[in-house]
Amino acid sequence: MGGIVKEAKRGIRKVRKFLDKRAYGDPKLEKDIVTGFHRLYYDAASLGKTWKNTRWLGVYTQKCPLDLWIYQETLWDNRPDVIVECGTAEGGTTLYLASMCDLIGGGRIVSVDIDTKPKRPAHPRITYLSGSSTAPDVFAAVKKHITRDEKVMVILDSDHSKKHVDEELKIYSNLVSRDCYLIVEDSNVNGHPVLPDHGPGPMEAIDEFLQKDDRFIIDDGKEKFYMTFNPRGYLKRVK
């Protein structure tokens, strides 16, 4: 019996090795595997799993952990003085960003959301603003928290309709410092590859924005972990 088990394990290892080689050597197969897992992971949130049950220090982030890791690397590399976050939700990502700033030794977060939630986490590096991110008075309030020479990074994660993201890109892109990032969240919706019935959203807004504005490029190096909720959404300002 022991010999049969060993032979079975050896056979499984050979099959796995063969499949691994096929996946890495076949771009289409690799893409199919990633897309299938992306959909599985995303849709499992409807059952209270995956990104709907991801917390930082007890607070829900509603983020893919792979993207949170990219955030950490980006903050370390860029050391922004101010991170503008459009879309606070529960405040888990806001707290995560503040924690990373604590570790790095600098930076603060200005987070905007149309909904006011009194139980959002408090932190000395966080300022919460209430209102629509595209409202003139709210945008003016955001700018008051930024001084002229500070390095600024922006995250757009509020209303994911194309119309709203278009307007956010138009006004918030001007705040981003050179060599820093404008991150457009959830560009995976509308069939990229999830929620095919969503309608035009962040991805379509990104594509249109980049056709008109050559100050930014897509940094596809931020997609190195295969799956990201923000495909084509890590925009680096180069001009």
What are the residue ranges spanned by the domains of the chain? 2-51, 54-237
pLDDT at position 161, please? Answer: 99
33: number of Cβ within 10 Å: 15
Read off the pLDDT of each residue in 209-223 and give the average, rounded to a whole number.
98
pLDDT at position 118, please? Answer: 87
59 class by beta-carbon count within 10 Å (0-12 exposed, 13-18 middle, 19+ buried): middle
Beta bridge partners of 83: 109, 153
6 class by beta-carbon count within 10 Å (0-12 exposed, 13-18 middle, 19+ buried): exposed
Beta bridge partners of 85: 111, 155
Q: Is the pLDDT of residue 2 over 70?
A: no
pLDDT at position 21, please? Answer: 61
Q: Is the pLDDT of residue 23 over 70?
A: no
Residue 9 banded pLDDT, cuts 50, 70, 90: low
The kind and range of the H/E element at 3 are: helix 2-25
Read off the pLDDT of each residue in 199-214 and give the average, rounded to a whole number.
99
Q: Please tell me the CATH code under which domain 54-237 is placed.
A: 3.40.50.150
pLDDT at position 19, please? Answer: 60
Cα→Cα distances 136→49, 131, 154, 227, Å? 37, 10, 17, 35
Read off the pLDDT of each residue in 209-237 and give the average, rounded to a whole number.
98
Contact 149, 172 (CB under 8 A): no
pLDDT at position 27, please? Answer: 87
Residue 182 in tokens: 């404008």
Write out pLDDT tens, residues 128-186: 999 999 999 999 999 999 999 999 999 999 999 999 999 999 999 999 999 999 999 99
Read off the pLDDT of each residue in 220-239 and give the average, rounded to a whole number.
98
Q: State the Cα–Cα distance between residues 78 and 153, nearest whole angstrom.
A: 9
**Closest among 131, 93, 91, 134 to 114, alpha carbons compared:** 131
Please state whether the predicted TM-score (pTM) of the whole model is above 0.75: yes
pLDDT at position 224, please? Answer: 98
Give me the sign of the Cα torsion angle 65, 203, 73, 170.
negative
